[in-house]
Structure formats: structure tokens, C-alpha cells
Amino acid sequence: MDEKLLLGQVLTFMDDPFARGWQAASRHSTRGGIVLRDGRIAATGEADALRRAHPRAQVTDYGEALILPGFVDAHMHYPQTGIIASWGKRLIDWLNSYTFPEEMRFGEASYARTQADLTLDLALAHGTTTLASFCTIHSESVTAFFEAAEARGMGVVAGKTCMDRNAPEGLRDTPRSAFDDSKALIETWHGRGRAAYAITPRFSPTSTPDQLAALGALWAEHPDCLMQTHLSEQTDEIAWVRGLFPQARDYLETYERHGLLGERGLYGHAIHLEPREIDRLAEVGAAVVHCPTSNTFIGSGLFDMAGMKARGIPVGLATDTGGGSSFSMLRTMAAAYEIGQLRGTPLHPAQLLWLATEGSARALHMGGQIGTLAPGAHADLCVLDLASTPAIAQRSDRAEDIWEALFPTIMMGDDRAVRDVWVSGASRRG
Ligand code: GUN
Ligand code: ZN
């Protein structure tokens, strides 16, 4: 039997640390281990006991490094990798100036594949093992992303980004072609290996009511697919939506009226919500995705994490690259912490880590499969060096518990902290 045993510090969650408090929700072992078999986690426990129970397992000892589930980035745009960190614009100008010209290039399959390979390698280097990505209107861009993920054994979510208005010539489809192309991609990719399809209207301003209705009908035909879009990111955008959809009471209703509100819906940003929108999200069990580096970079606003969690709304965490300014989920956790501080509700490191792993996994309806070290989950792991730079090391040296040891890496860490990453039971560092 081909078994691998990884040794190091291990942190596991038994529950949501927003719901139960982090002490009760988590377990830390200073000398723990994980057994991997057939691409899955077979056991998690104390190192000595696992060594005795699995004497023939091939051992990798990470010493004091911390073994965690791989990070799960619940909302990003791989076609925007090339324009990350573009200066000086707010959302609508940023889309028109930087994003749309770059997305135009993805009709060429070889360019799409180059950018998909680049993005997935950057993600892995930062410890991210699953991403939910928007693609472009081109089917080629979706194929390229799923093929690049399949070549790496990664489980990803992706979908063709549909737009039939308020976008330049060359980046517009139609209600019919959005339906047909998305359907063909679902038939090819959804459930193939570790691939999952998300029906993807970009956001209400770039889809006519007819296109939203066509995609709502497609979701009704394929209810096991996810649906990802944007919601209430900037106030100018919300005013624009109000003008485009005068009959809708609020932004969420532009989706709801067209069959695009559901439990498997993922609504990125969700910053400036009306009470009715919060009520409806809570009632249907839909997830929102917090994109903190994007929200500060594009100047969107301060997401209300405490408010969402208090209503029981599932929340994922995401980079939103290239509106987000970092590929790192560590940097993303740091930005979530900072936004919490600005709202007077600081997040505990346990809550930040949970959001970046199990929280995002649950938002993607992949709880138990990814974002966890529980037996049966895919063996997607991230091994963190908690002393990766002199600045971090001198702080973590003084730590009195694992949370104090981890927090400097959350706040100051980057890809240098990622000692190793495992995907489907194989180390990407060799
Ligand atoms: N809203 C519609 N499209 C986008 C996008 O590409 N990035 C961000 N941050 N917001 C959007
Ligand atoms: Zn986005």
C-alpha cells in the first residue's frame, strides 16, 4: 500500500470558530501527522501513534512547520493576472481601462493556456490549492483553465464570463450563445475529475435581462452547478444597476427575478447591502465572498463580516485577483483582519485561517472534500514555515501559543512562508 506520512505541527478545526469560539472549535498538535493514501487524507493524529500504526509509510518530516489544508480562493479572475496592480481607477473605469482590453486576448487558446498555467503556478507557490475563477466570454479561456488545473491534479471551479451589453465589441456574447456555450462547457467539464462548473454572469450591468434569464434557465437545468457573480461592490455600480433595472427593488433582485438567486449561488463582494438583500441571502442560504485586498485596492468599502456571520450567511474568502492586489491568501487574511479592525470587529487568527480554508470550501459546497484535514478529504495541503523571514521569526519566537505563533505569518507572510504544497496527495515541490 502506497502511504505517505507527513510530520509537523498540525492544526485542525472541528467546527466554525465564529460559532463556537476558537478554543473549542480547533485542535493543535505540536508533533502531529497526516497519513495520505490514494490522493486522500487517511488519518490525522499524533506523530508517534501514526508512526506505529503506519510503519511502512514514506515519511516526510517538516519539523516545526505547520501542516494545514491548502488555501481555497473562492473568487478570482485568472485572465486578470497580467494586469494585477494597475494604478489609479475605481471599478467601472478599472474594468474599461485595464480589464476588458486584457480579457480580449483570451480568444486565442495558446495565450489563455499560458496565463492559466502562470496563474495556477502562482497560486500553488502561495499555498492555494483550489480556486474559483471567472474566465472570459471565450470558451477557449474556460477550456484552458480546466486543462491546466487537470494537468496539476487541482480541483477548481470556473465558468465562461457572460456579457451582452456595456462591454466592448469582441467581449460580448448574446443570450443564446451564453446559454449554448455555457451548456456545452458544463457537459464537457462539470464533474470531470475534480472540475466543477459555475454559471457566470459577470454582473447585472453587463447582462441584459434576457441574458440573465437565459442563464437562470440554464441553472434550473443544471442545479448541481454553482453560479458565481458580483453584487453591490461600489456605490456608483449600485446606482448604475438601479438605472438599468428600474423595476428591481435592489441589486440582488436583478438576479432573483431571473432565476439567479439560490443556495449554490456565490455573490462576490456584497459590501453595500440593503436589509432586504441580507434577509434574502440568509433565507436561501446563498454564500457571499469577501475580497478584502480588492475592496481596499479598488476603493470599494468595508465588508461587514460580523453582520454576515451573525445572520448565518456562509462567507468565503478570496483574492479577487487582478482587482485584488495579491495572490497570497495570507495577505488576504491580513487585509480581512485590517478591515475588521476598521469596523471595530477584529478577527481572531483561527477565524481568518478557517475562512481561508473550510469557510471558502463550504461556500463552494465542497465542505469535507477540501479545506479540511478530516479523513476522506482530498490530500490538498499547505505547509507553512512560521519563521520565514527575520521579521516574522523574531516575533514568532516570543509566541506563547499557536495563534500567537501563526499571526505574524498571517500579517507579514507571503510565498516565502510556503514550505511545501500538496495536491491530490503529491508534493508540488518534489
Ligand atoms: N465587477 C464586475 N466585473 C468585475 C471584475 O472583474 N472585478 C471586480 N473586482 N469587480 C467586478
Ligand atoms: Zn471579481
For the stretch 92-117, pLDDT in tens is 999 999 999 999 999 999 999 999 99
Residue 22 has what pLDDT? 86
| The three three-digit cell numbers of residue 214, written as one number | 437565459
- With b for 16 or more beta-carbon neighbours within 10 A and e for fewer, the 396-406 pattern comes to beeeeebbebb
Residue 23 neighbours by CB under 8 Å, 6+ apart: none
Distance 135 CA to ligand 2 centre (A): 10
- By most ligand atoms within 8 Å of CB, the mutation choice from 202, 204, 228, 255 for ligand 1 is 202
230 lines ligand 1 (CB under 6 A): yes
pLDDT-derived band at 362 (thresholds 50, 70, 90) equals very high
Average pLDDT over residues 20-48: 96
Residue 23 has what pLDDT? 85
Give me the phi and psi of 84, to 5 degrees please: -60, 150
**Read out DSSP for 185-197?**
HHHHHTTSTT-EE
Which stretches of 335-412 are assigned E, i.e. beta strand? 381-384
Question: Left, alpha or beta for 312 (phi > 0: left; psi -120 to 50: alpha)?
Answer: left
- Using CA atoms, how far apart are residues 298 and 150, in angstroms rounded to an integer? 32
Distance 294 CA to ligand 1 centre (A): 9
Average pLDDT over residues 325-333: 98
Give the ligand 1 atom nearest the CA of 323. Answer: 9
Distance 267 CA to ligand 2 centre (A): 9
- Using CA atoms, how far apart are residues 387 and 405, in angstroms rounded to an integer? 9
| The three three-digit cell numbers of residue 190, written as one number | 462539470
Residue 400 neighbours by CB under 8 Å, 6+ apart: none
232 lines ligand 1 (CB under 6 A): no
Average pLDDT over residues 352-381: 98
Cβ atoms < 10 Å from Cβ of 87: 7
Residue 21 has what pLDDT? 87
320 lines ligand 1 (CB under 6 A): yes
Residue 420 has what pLDDT? 98
Lowest mean pLDDT among 1-5, 53-57, 116-120, 244-248: 1-5
Residue 221 has what pLDDT? 98
319 lines ligand 1 (CB under 6 A): no
For the chain, give the percent of residues with pLDDT over 90.
Answer: 98
Distance 95 CA to ligand 1 centre (A): 7
Provide the mean pLDDT of the chain.
98
Average pLDDT over residues 182-194: 98
Residue 215 neighbours by CB under 8 Å, 6+ apart: 162, 178, 179, 182, 199, 201, 207, 227, 258, 259, 260
75 lines ligand 1 (CB under 6 A): no
304 lines ligand 1 (CB under 6 A): no
Distance 315 CA to ligand 2 centre (A): 15
Distance 323 CA to ligand 1 centre (A): 7
Q: Which amino acid is at 54?
A: H
- Using CA atoms, how far apart are residues 303 and 291, in angstroms rounded to an integer? 8
- By most ligand atoms within 8 Å of CB, the mutation choice from 230, 254, 255 for ligand 1 is 230
Residue 430 has what pLDDT? 60
